[in-house]
Chains A and B, each alone.
Chain A
């Protein structure tokens, strides 16, 4: 079980968190201006690297804050 560092509450068990997937996927400012393909890409296409990437978590059972961390998907090592 991962030990995730909540920026507010410190290290807590993974079971206290909800996963939010890839970080930095911004909701389009004007969804109506996007083509179907562009909208489909926003909805469904995400990176899936082996190695480091930025992902979002929410401390659901704690302070309920969303935050972004960097994790190596192959080793589960965290980096700042």
Chain B
């Protein structure tokens, strides 16, 4: 049953494609869609409706299709697609969809995303879009044109327009294709329009290629455009009458499009219903092509009652008293300009009575509709049948909503579900508004304009690349020791080190015993570290911390608590005085960036007169905690008499180190810091000398036994220092510190606030779940914040926040818990939070019997050491298009003081490079090797940040294209030329992007992000090497590059 016209259409009849639909084999041609190929085989019935179970056909020839839903199972799998948008390929297998699609498994195809920038973005590649793009190019603008069809031409191809128009289109295309300033993206649908000219669009790269083409299947474009011109044309609308959903009822413009694009006649004998002149033109065109036109009903003359007969296909039509035999009903019901992106921008619509259409009311900021407005049309009354074919919403359903009192079209939409399907009411919205009688308002348009795969939105941020994993320098050593890791913010920290099949509890018990009876080591490198320099540093810290810091002696260390202005604990840590005008502050792991931001905020916005400058040195130092009564055996004799809360410089395992005597466990303990890149070497030296490695779980148990809170675990933003029992750390002498005024509010001195307490379950083997409620006489009075088994106590214990807790020690309460036995309560006793060594007798440890002589540590290591092979493979795969390699930065200084160069630029000398970080912040690096660079004489603060940053070079002719996958900056050389630098996001990391030479960029990042970024670059480079995309210009390249890529 071949319904092809003998000559019309743009399909390639020289080659036959075979496909299977609903288990039956058919043939079609290259250039077909699944819908056109089905129609060519006489098939209209494609799907079954979602609620009423009625047969449904093909209404349109485009992405606005409401009903022709199919499941594609080969050569790719997609559970819900419209047949009008599936390009036919050999071996395509699809099934009719009844109701909704169902996912069958993970989508293993490759998806990615790219940033692009232009002056003018044109949406729609029809005659209006092409001429708008050409005009913009001639004005000197950079232009991106997106068009969702396989080839540009739009309505000209639908209407089979005269040769002169086609010549104009060909001329316009020739101009765009030869222009370096223009990029034309076919098979690309604009999805959404956001603030400041951001448009997202999805590009389909491989579905039209033979199976196994590989490469990126879909690419999400994020385009920043100065102006957005919508050449999106119109959608034709159906009419509402009895039987308007029977397969064979189709838009008249779609029938014309199937003839001119695909050479398909959609029926033998048709009844045409029209509200305007275009229906007559369609009848004439189709009649001339061989379709018999039974009658043309023009509603402007008369609109008799229409009823369509037929089950899975139109058999006949009653027009008033007359009945016509027909297998197609072609409806020209008027037009709706495609204004979803305009409406997303906040553009207003108005009803144009003569055109019978909602049209744009002017333009909205940079968003303008540039297609012609549709021709005049009558708007006839609704007779009956369906308004939303996909959601099975009838005219009667909408009337019921109105009768129920719903007066807004938004409410009608939610009551009836009209307009909520995959097509978002593109063809039904106007009918729904008419039926609702609410004064012709359309519902709000939201992205995405067409359905889009979650996998496409996720792009390459999946699996291991979902979020950056920050690793310490000793990460591989922890892996080799069999560590089980946990996520702390983006950091991956070793939680415990099971041996010989130990459970977590067994491992933690062993690690705790080692720390309390001999010596154990933990990687504490993730703690935030900030160096503060300047004559007012002490004064500044006095204002930030609740206690006095300025009196600290050089060489001494003090514990401090920071509150917000609301008086609630914000962070805690230690402060070491390195020199008169120099302090080192440590923060909790998760709060490092927040504390630095907090300091900068106060210095920049409230106290600019204070002469103090802050520099992050978190990844300057790898820090290993050495804990236990025998800790001195691992440290040089020069440190053995170091008093508690003091620091000194020393050489440990041959490495220059800073040794701090700080304890978070109550035991004798040291924190030993060396250059970040030597962290693995120091760790290995300690473990090799017999120290037991321990992880964060053991650290938590040890500190909880001593009643030390963890900010963020035992606190939640409603807890004051006094609530934690840290009143001793709140100065009463200082006139002022942040939070002091709030601590004088009546609420913060209430006696019935929640206090930190210890909790001992009656059952010593029961570990209460964290979060368990504490209940007194049936009233909830608190909750468990930390809970562990303790080797030292020989039983379980917990910390909790308890109303008036400080005054309830010894009281008996109930704790709720939910376990295998269901929800139940258990009895507990309230105690002091300090359960272990309350008199601090353990702090000084044992005198060392024999000091272990640590061998000199091995050399420092790079986070990219394991990537050499993968970097080499990238160069091979891209034919030298991209080369990735580590670049040593050598000695580094971070200098605060007037920057000696314009913003976002660099100064390169033979030995050193200065990179702009901020108006008073400069990074000096030494890629050529050698000593620390000499800071400028007028510097206010100089901090050695050697090892705190590492660099990867991305070089080669396609380097910029690779970066555009993960960098939102406009990287064209006239915007970001060689010699420039910018701190920005690359992939999901913060990076300092340094454009060192024409074809070479350096990504300067913290070493903890290095492995993630290297993984990402290797993965992203695969997006460059597919045949489908290598010739795709990006609209952000110089003319010669553009030419090189096109040839």
Contact = CB atoms under 8 A, between A and B. Distances in A.
B745 A16 contact: no
A56 to B, nearest CB: 7
B604 to A, nearest CB: 5
Given A15-B985, A31-B740, A63-B919, A3 B601 contact: no
Contacts of B606: 26-27
A27 B745 CA distance: 17
A47 interface: no
Given A3-B224, A60-B597, A61-B985, A66 B196 contact: no
A62 B983 contact: yes
A2 B985 CA distance: 15
A9 B983 contact: yes
B531 to A, nearest CB: 15
B905 to A, nearest CB: 11
A32 interface: yes
A15 B224 CA distance: 15
A73 interface: no
B196 A8 contact: no
Interface in B589-612: 593, 597, 600-601, 604-606
A66 B602 CA distance: 10
Contact of B741 (A1, A12, A13, A32): A32
B615 to A, nearest CB: 11
B562 interface: no
A13 B565 contact: no
Interface in A41-56: 43, 56
A65 B740 CA distance: 27
Nearest to B194: A1
A24 to B, nearest CB: 10
Interface string A1-33: 111000011101101101010000011000110
Contacts of A27: 565, 606
A79 to B, nearest CB: 13
Contact of B601 (A31, A61, A66, A76): A66
Nearest to B200: A1
8 contacts: A1-B196, A1-B198, A39-B741, A43-B565, A56-B605, A62-B984, A65-B919, A66-B604
A34 B742 CA distance: 11
Contact of A66 (B605, B742, B968): B605
B911 interface: no
B565 A77 contact: no
B392 interface: no
A12 B976 CA distance: 13
Interface residues on B, range: 35 or more
B597 A18 contact: yes
Q: Which 3 A/B pairs are nearest by Cβ-Cβ distance?
A: A31-B741, A3-B196, A63-B918
Contacts of B741: 31-32, 34, 39
B990 interface: yes
Nearest to B616: A64
Contacts of B903: 8-9, 63
Nearest to B602: A27
The interface centre, meaning the residue of A20, A64, A65 with most chain B CB atoms within 10 A of its CB, is A64
A70 B1009 CA distance: 35
Given A36-B745, A56-B605, A75-B365, 6 more contacts: A32-B740, A43-B565, A58-B600, A62-B984, A63-B903, A66-B600
A76 B196 contact: yes
Contacts of B346: 75
A26 B593 CA distance: 24
A65 B604 contact: yes
Given A32-B741, A56-B605, A3 B904 contact: no
Nearest to B983: A62
Contact of A20 (B565, B593, B601): B601
Contacts of A31: 736, 740-741
Interface in B560-591: 565-566
Contacts, number: 86
Contacts of A43: 565-566, 742
B921 A2 contact: no
A3 B918 contact: no
B134 interface: no
A32 B985 contact: no
Nearest to B197: A3
A16 B984 contact: yes
Nearest to A65: B918
B195 interface: yes
Contact of A61 (B600, B745, B919, B983): B983
A65 B606 CA distance: 13
A58 to B, nearest CB: 7
A13 B990 CA distance: 13
A10 B224 CA distance: 14
Contacts of A61: 983-985, 990
Contacts of A66: 600-601, 604-605
A61 B983 CA distance: 7
B341 interface: no
Contact of A13 (B740, B968, B983): B968
B222 to A, nearest CB: 8
A63 B736 contact: no
B608 to A, nearest CB: 10
A63 B917 CA distance: 6
B742 A39 contact: yes
A73 to B, nearest CB: 12
Contacts of B198: 1, 3
Given A13-B985, A39-B741, A61-B983, A3 B919 contact: no
B824 to A, nearest CB: 40
Nearest to B614: A64
Contacts of A32: 735-736, 740-741, 744
Contact of B746 (A8, A9, A36, A75): A36
A36 B742 CA distance: 9
Interface in B463-483: none
A15 B196 CA distance: 14
A11 to B, nearest CB: 8
A12 B194 CA distance: 15
A3 B983 CA distance: 16
Contacts of B736: 31-32
Contacts of B593: 60
A58 B601 contact: yes
A72 to B, nearest CB: 11
Contacts of B921: 63-64
B982 interface: yes
A1 B605 CA distance: 26
Interface string B121-154: 0000000000000000000000000000000000
Contacts of A15: 985
A77 B224 CA distance: 16
B543 to A, nearest CB: 10
Contacts of A56: 605
B1006 to A, nearest CB: 12
A52 to B, nearest CB: 15
Interface in B172-229: 194-198, 224
B195 A1 contact: yes
A58 B744 CA distance: 31
A62 B968 CA distance: 13
Nearest to B567: A43
A28 B195 CA distance: 36
Contact of A8 (B566, B605, B918): B918
A8 B600 contact: no
B472 to A, nearest CB: 22
B597 A9 contact: no
B114 to A, nearest CB: 14
Nearest to B596: A64
A40 B650 CA distance: 50
A5 to B, nearest CB: 10
Contacts of B196: 1-3, 76
B972 to A, nearest CB: 14
A40 B365 CA distance: 40
Nearest to A10: B904
B567 to A, nearest CB: 9
